[in-house]
Amino acid sequence: MTSLLRFPPNELEELLVSLEAPRYRADQVLRALYQGGCDSIDALIQLPRDLRERMKTAGLTVQLPVILREVVSDDGDTTKALLSLPSGPTVETVLMQYPRSGRGPRSTVCVSTQAGCAMGCVFCATGQMGFERNIPAEDVVAQVLHFQRLLALRGEHVTNVVFMGMGEPLANYEETLRAVRQLTDPRAFDLAQRAITVSTVGIPRAIDRLATENLQVGLAISLHAPDDALRRRLVPTARPNSIAELLDSGRRYFRTSGRRVSIEYALVGGVNDAPRHAQELGKLLRGSGMHVNLIPLNPTAGPFVAPSRRGVREFRRILTEAGVNATVRIEKGSEIAAACGQLRTDVDAASGRGSAAFPSPS
């Protein structure tokens, strides 16, 4: 079975032509999928019944995730869904909303591109799961559509997508790219390219490849340390000279795409949050034009702790005085384990027993 969500408009046209349907039927299908909330071939009532039957016979389907559990933050701005994907794996996907004056909220969906992760970041719940499998593009798109349907009931819509959920997007390059193109195609989901950010813990060759794709998506590089020795403690899969390689690839990405690169830096108390670390990071990034997102560590089951608020302010001050633009990320949903580094899916779906990532409502 193959989901219709896998096909970009041009491929969908050719597919329907092969089923003896006129090309204009593709636009009807696309509108039903991305604007109409269609959840099955039979729901495509715009199409003749015989065409729908040919589509089913050809193994086509509209497969949507099954919701295993959904939790909402105390302020109502963050929703985390545990989804069983049609391709088999279970992932967590998050909707984060930020109020905007005079208009609807900015609604960002954080999607997962892998079940688990092979990068092994020691402070990240997903990294400690290990790697299970890559997620196909149609299931990445389906994660966005899951929340789009929820928002449509409120008269709202998805405004941004960040590839910052479970997994390393650039280690699943082809499917990540296909999902980006589906989400930004004017005839499909029609999201602005600049409303998408791809985050990577570091695959320089894939960053260089992404720069050639003629896209305007944002790039976020998860650095987490100012020197290679410390970085390899935090990211065991990092190469010996990964920092120089990543910063060089980030500069090339900016030169090719014109899009500013962000540096993600998780502040781990007593590990990488000292003033000397900020000074070293400032020297590395001075004059690069890169923006630093400082992310105070979110609680996980591991032994690491968050930095003090005073230490976070001091870290940012040192960077700013070094001429590096830095902000402290406002984390959403940490109390429901929906924030950066907290996504995990050790859930026995058959029994309905949840993991620590899904605390019981009080």
- Taking only the tens place, the pLDDT of each residue in 168-213 is 999 999 999 999 999 999 999 999 999 999 999 989 999 999 999 9
**Domain 66-336: CATH class, spelled out:** alpha beta
Please tell me the predicted confidence (pLDDT) of residue 196.
98
User: How many other β-carbons are positioned within 10 Å of the β-carbon of residue 356?
Assistant: 13
> Do the domains 2-61 and 66-336 sit in the same CATH topology, yes or no?
no
| pLDDT-above-70 percentage for the chain | 90
The H-assigned helical ranges of the chain are 9-18, 25-34, 49-57, 137-152, 173-184, 204-211, 228-234, 242-257, 275-285, 309-321
**Would you name the residues annotated as active-site residues?**
92, 340
Nearest-angstrom CA–CA distance, 188 and 290: 32
| pLDDT-above-90 percentage for the chain | 80
Domain ranges of the chain: 2-61, 66-336
User: How many other β-carbons are positioned within 10 Å of the β-carbon of residue 105?
Assistant: 15
Q: What are phi and psi of 170, to 5 degrees?
A: -80, -10
- The architecture CATH gives domain 2-61: Orthogonal Bundle (1.10)
User: How many other β-carbons are positioned within 10 Å of the β-carbon of residue 67?
Assistant: 11
Tokens of 118: 């092979």
Confidence of residue 124 (pLDDT cuts 50, 70, 90): confident
